[in-house]
Amino acid sequence: MKLPREFYTREETLQIARELIGKLLVVPMADGTIVSGMIVETEAYLGAIDKAAHSFGNRRTKRTETMFAVGGTAYVFFIYGMYYQFNVVVGAVDSPHAILIRALEPIQNIEIMREKRGKMPDKNLTSGPGKLCIAMGIDKNFNNADLLGDKIWLEDYKVFDDSEIAVGKRIGIDYAEEFAEKEWRFWAKENPYVSRR
DNA sequence: CAAGTGATTAGC
DNA sequence: CTAATCACTTGC
């Protein structure tokens, strides 16, 4: 069952980032085959106040426009010349918060992910934000997609207790000064698919 | 550990 | 218009 709009439109971005751990990310392939993975790692980006967010200070450009959409929209962007990143927009319209999905545990049709990723140990299929987009076939065509539509969506899968979720600093945002220290990253403790390094 | 890769952005 | 930057990955 798809998560309802109300799950996404709340303003408690950090709480939503934590609740996303254990949800299932589902993407149907061109031939209708379902590929899915359980979210095991997320990072929250708190829009206007967060120096690490693209939408810091409500900066509105062609790229960040998607972050201002209603909660439950996909924000996909291209980075480092080769990788896509998949984010979930949360909050109301014009409240540019988003949650980066950093890692998944493969659930359905793992062999399709193996195919897309090339020769890789299973542990490396989806254990990072760029990797999981390749494994799931997520690209710029998914930017601005509605997570209540048929292209890509999230479902309930497994419930994690707070004691099973670890909290820490976000990765790769050293330029964000005091916001680089914020512990806005969440992951499933002891899960082998959490990103390393 | 370092380089690759090109869209995006800010600054002329 | 130009140049710098980047929410990363892989193979040396």
Q: Which 68-127 residues of chain A approach strand B with CB closer than 7 Å?
A: 77-82
pLDDT at residue A142, as a whole number: 98
**Segment A77-96, tens digit of pLDDT:** 999 999 999 999 999 999 99
Q: Determine the residue type at A143.
A: N
Domains of chain A: 5-188 (3.10.300.10)
Question: Beta-carbon neighbour count of residue A159 at 10 Å?
Answer: 10
Whole-angstrom distance, CA of residue A173 vs CA of residue A160: 27
Q: For the whole model, what pTM was predicted?
A: 0.96
Whole-angstrom distance, CA of residue A135 vs CA of residue A194: 15
- pLDDT of residue A197 exceeding 80, the answer is no
In this complex, the answer to whether residue A61 has its CB under 7 A from any atom of chain B, a nucleic strand, is: yes
The protein footprint on chain C, as nucleotides within 7 A of a CB, is 5-10
Please report, for chain A, how many H helices and E strands are present, in that order.
4, 8
Whole-angstrom distance, CA of residue A143 vs CA of residue A156: 22
CA–CA distance from A1 to each of A24, A27, A160 (Å)? 10, 14, 18
| Helix residue ranges, H only, chain A | 5-9, 13-19, 110-117, 129-136
**Segment A10-69, tens digit of pLDDT:** 999 999 999 999 999 999 999 999 999 999 999 999 999 999 999 999 999 999 999 999
Please give the nucleotide, over all strands, whose C1' is closest to the CA of residue A79.
C6
Mean pLDDT of A5-9: 98
pLDDT at residue A196, as a whole number: 79
Q: Determine the residue type at A177.
A: E
